[in-house]
């Protein structure tokens, strides 16, 4: 027996002295222990029930998301079936037209022959002579009968050049596979070419396997910045094999002696294919994604799968570009002070409050594109044209278009022209000015151009000077957008918009995304799905995803523009009872474009200098499409090109242009100030007795779904 068992402890002796029974102490302790165990068991059961409830809730949420995704997929299938039916009808029409042409040829009737896009006849062409030559070349291109297959597709501008392809969905794939087929046929006709490329491929693969290959990605390609692509032999070999394969396919196109149009289509089709199969787009082939998977214990994969399910259900199956919950219009975006001073069925007119003691007497009216919301002009503090202009002493008005539904399917160019003219008169009434300045972007610019043509035909001088931002009026300029815009696909697009009454903005956004898949699709695929990060909070992308619809009539008119290119021909279009001749538009114009713009190519924007009368000033920004509009001062990398001479060939203009540092906004402020009259005391309020202030800016139409 141990001593501590034989001898009571000091505490035990004290308890004994108090009259307690030492023998009862251990049973009480045992009962307490048992009670604690029971309570722990109960708590464990409750925790298990709670965990089961949580799992059940997660399962229910997953099932809900899957159901939403299935519904979205069913809708896409219905859309595709509708498109295929329309395509089949157009194929029958095309077959009938072909039979008619063959019959005409058998009778000896002449048929049009294709011709390459003409080039300027001489370097020293003046702007006036160049404009005539430009119109003549555009007319010849139209007469060739294949304008749509190589055109820029004018008018829709920002979000609008995609109008001819919008709504096609997988129909554009018909042209995609046709281009691929033509490339394969060329390869079969020239087996020596395929053999030569195969031999080069095998030789270079040998060098890759032995570690002697020098193939490397473009230093600007951020997909392969991870050190593993150069330090890990497996990843390095994987990358070099991919680059070699992509290079070999492109070499095959380069040496296949295809017509230029077919070669361009084939290169674009190949780029979609090869970029989709880049190793970085797979989990195992992306070292950054694998590292994230390991560090999070698989949680990144779960988050990525969740993002994918949500995008299938809500974003048409494409990865989300932006966190749409991070901003709120009227609170973090479009926050400049002002009020609606006029409203009709088509638009709201907003006047912004002055922020300086004096202002220029002549106001400026901003006309936004019909796709996306108007607050591209008033994005956020520091990125707002409205803010910049009001701080510079200008009285600023802006149009906010109503988002059309199927009920407004009959809204067309004339509808928007009348609305602009009505807004102009309200601005004149409020400010007491006989003439005003006006600026417009993208599709709004095309609408402004035909409005100016209408006013010129009537001898109406209520507009003093005009600014066109990233606006294409001549559809004969080549672009990626036009590669797959054949007469057949355009006819299908018309049929779809007429059937629905509108074209959805998200459909057009998807077309734009596939023009730059690495930047606008696969970049977010990797971030959202493979790495499992949430989309970024970026104001420009928020606006870009805040889309609107196009009414069917307006959409159809824009498609006809791409086929007929009417603005390059005096009187080629009649609107509001007047022929449109842009050469009769004699006011001063300020025209901007972006050198890396993939939607409205800068050469197409430059063509406006040849179409309009009056004195133009053309500015070429170093940025892309949206950043060419949102180009506030303060960016040390910003620059633009300028040249006071305007030959017919845009390449000649650029070759002689002067590069300047800074934002074109500052130059535009100077240009606009010179045409805005004297400085006067700023108005204390917005509106007047006839047009009093209504809803505060940004108005009510901007919030309509």
Using CA atoms, how far apart are residues 649 and 607, in angstroms rounded to an integer?
Answer: 9
User: Alpha helices of 156-298 — where are they, by DSSP H?
Assistant: 157-160, 172-189, 191-209, 228-231, 233-254, 260-276, 287-295
Q: Kindly write down the DSSP assignment for every residue of 461-478, as one continuous string.
A: --EEEEEEES----TTS-
3-state helix, strand, coil in the chain (%, to 5): 55, 10, 35
Whether 442 sits among the annotated catalytic residues: the reply is: yes
> Which of these is catalytic: 179, 333, 442, 481?
442
Q: Are 486 and 148 in contact (CB under 8 A)?
A: yes
Tell me the Cα Rg of the chain: 33
Q: Kindly write down the DSSP assignment for every residue of 32-73, as one continuous string.
A: HHHHHHHHHHHHHHHHHHHHHHHHHHHHHHHHHHHHHHHHHH
Task: Select from 477, 603, 562 the least CA-distant residue to 163.
Answer: 562
Greatest Cα pair distance, the chain, in angstroms, is 134
Length of the chain: 705
Q: Are 166 and 503 in contact (CB under 8 A)?
A: yes
Using CA atoms, how far apart are residues 446 and 420, in angstroms rounded to an integer?
Answer: 12
**Quick one: three-class SS letters along 131-181?**
HHHHHHHHHHHHHCCCHHHHCCCCCCHHHHHHHHCCCCHHHHHHHHHHHHH
- At 30, list the tokens: 């045992």
Using CA atoms, how far apart are residues 619 and 670, in angstroms rounded to an integer?
Answer: 13
Q: Are 390 and 420 in contact (CB under 8 A)?
A: no
Q: Which residues are catalytic?
A: 442
């Amino acid at each position: 027996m141990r001593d501590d068992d034989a001898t009571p402890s000091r505490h035990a002796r004290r308890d004994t002295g108090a009259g307690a029974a030492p023998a009862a102490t251990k049973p009480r302790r045992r009962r307490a222990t048992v009670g604690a165990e029971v309570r722990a068991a109960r708590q464990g059961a409750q925790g298990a029930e709670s965990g089961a409830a949580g799992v059940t809730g997660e399962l229910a949420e997953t099932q809900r998301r899957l159901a939403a995704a299935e519904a979205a997929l069913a809708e896409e299938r219905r859309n595709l079936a509708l498109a295929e039916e329309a395509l089949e009808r157009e194929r029958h029409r095309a077959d009938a037209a072909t039979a008619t042409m063959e019959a005409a040829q058998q009778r000896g009737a002449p048929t049009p022959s294709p011709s390459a896009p003409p080039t300027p006849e001489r370097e020293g062409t003046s702007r006036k002579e160049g404009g005539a030559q430009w119109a003549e070349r555009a007319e010849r291109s139209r007469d060739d009968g294949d304008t749509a297959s190589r055109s820029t597709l004018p008018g829709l501008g920002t979000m609008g050049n995609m109008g001819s392809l919008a709504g096609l969905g997988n129909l554009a794939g018909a042209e995609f596979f046709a281009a691929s087929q033509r490339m394969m046929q060329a390869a079969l006709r020239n087996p020596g070419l395929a053999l030569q490329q195969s031999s080069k491929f095998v030789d270079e693969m040998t060098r890759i396997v032995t570690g002697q290959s020098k193939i490397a990605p473009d230093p600007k390609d951020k997909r392969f910045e991870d050190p593993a692509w150069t330090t890990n032999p497996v990843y390095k070999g994987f990358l070099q094999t991919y680059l070699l394969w992509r290079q070999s396919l492109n070499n095959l196109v380069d040496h296949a002696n295809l017509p230029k149009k077919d070669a361009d289509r084939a290169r674009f089709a190949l780029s979609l294919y090869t970029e989709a199969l880049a190793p970085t787009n797979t989990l195992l082939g992306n070292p950054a994604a694998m590292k994230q998977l390991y560090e999070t214990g698989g949680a990144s994969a779960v988050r990525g799968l969740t993002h994918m399910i949500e995008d299938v259900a809500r974003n048409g199956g494409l990865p989300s570009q932006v966190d749409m919950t991070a901003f709120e219009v009227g609170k973090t975006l479009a926050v400049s002070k002002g009020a609606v001073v006029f409203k009709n069925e088509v638009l709201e007119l907003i006047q912004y409050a002055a922020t300086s003691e004096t202002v220029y007497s002549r106001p400026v009216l901003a006309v936004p594109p019909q796709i996306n919301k108007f607050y591209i002009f008033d994005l956020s503090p520091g990125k707002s044209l409205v803010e910049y202009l009001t701080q510079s002493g200008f009285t600023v008005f802006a149009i906010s278009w109503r988002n059309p539904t199927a009920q407004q399917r009959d809204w067309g160019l004339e509808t928007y022209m009348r609305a602009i003219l009505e807004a102009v008169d309200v601005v004149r009434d409020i400010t007491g000015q006989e003439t005003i300045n006006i600026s417009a972007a993208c599709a709004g610019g095309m609408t402004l151009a035909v409005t100016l043509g209408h006013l010129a035909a009537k001898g109406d001088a209520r507009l003093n000077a005009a600014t066109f931002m990233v606006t294409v009026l001549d559809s004969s300029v080549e672009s990626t957008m036009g590669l797959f815009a054949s007469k057949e696909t355009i006819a299908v697009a018309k049929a779809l918009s007429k059937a629905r009454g509108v074209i959805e903005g998200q459909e057009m956004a998807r077309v734009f995304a596939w023009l730059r898949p690495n930047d606008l699709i696969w970049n977010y695929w990797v971030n959202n799905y493979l790495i499992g990060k949430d989309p970024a909070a970026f104001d420009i992308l928020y606006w870009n995803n805040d889309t609107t619809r196009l009414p069917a009539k307006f959409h159809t008119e824009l498609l006809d523009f791409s086929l007929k290119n009417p603005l390059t021909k005096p009187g080629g279009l009649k609107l509001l009872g007047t022929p449109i001749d842009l050469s009769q538009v004699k006011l001063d114009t300020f025209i901007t474009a972006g050198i890396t713009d993939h939607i409205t190519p800068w050469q197409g924007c430059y063509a406006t200098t040849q179409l309009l009368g009056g004195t133009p000033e053309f500015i070429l920004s170093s940025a892309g499409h949206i950043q060419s509009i949102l180009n506030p001062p303060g960016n040390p990398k910003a620059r633009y090109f300028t040249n006071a001479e305007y030959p017919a060939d845009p390449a000649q203009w650029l070759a002689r242009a002067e590069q300047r540092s800074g934002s074109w906004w500052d130059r535009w402020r100077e240009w606009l100030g010179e045409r805005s009259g004297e400085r006067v005391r700023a108005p204390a309020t917005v509106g007047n007795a006839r047009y009093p202030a209504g809803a505060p800016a940004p108005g009510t139409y901007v919030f309509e779904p």
